[in-house]
Structure 1
Amino acid sequence: MPGKHSLHDIEQAEKKPLWQRLGWLALIWAGSVGVLFIAASLMRMFMNAAGLTTH
């Protein structure tokens, strides 16, 4: 079935060093935080341009 991983694939992924797996986790987390920051900044910029301010 497509989308299902075999036991061999899972075993191969578990053989990778811990630092490499944690590195990928940190990279994905940092990327998601960065994208969220960009989206929030764009929304704030558009809201300020439309005259919506907090002061």
Structure 2
Amino acid sequence: MADKHSLQEIEEAEKKPLWHRLGWLAGIWVGSVLALFVVASLMRLFMNAAGLSTH
């Protein structure tokens, strides 16, 4: 039964327009890039506070 339910969900997802699916893909990508930027900035801030620098 669970297989039929998941197959039905897949078929419904494939009916959505391509721009909608690509929009979700782009949104997730942008979110991950922003999260990486925040983590890298915090690490740089902490490293500078500890006296480590690149120059």
Q: TM-score when scaled to structure 1?
A: 0.89
Q: RMSD of aligned C-alpha atoms?
A: 1.7
1:1-55 CA distances to partner (integer Å, 9 max, x unpaired)?
x8xx611000000000000000000000000000000000000000000000111
Query: Distance in 1 between the 2:25 and 2:32 partners?
Result: 11
Q: Percent identity?
A: 75
Unaligned stretches of 5+ residues in structure 1: none
2:44 matched to 1:44?
yes
Moved over 3 A (4+): none
Write out aligned runs for 1:7-26 (5 A): 7-26=7-26
Q: TM-score when scaled to structure 2?
A: 0.89
Q: Which has the higher helix share?
A: 2
Query: Distance in 1 between the 2:43 and 2:13 partners?
Result: 39
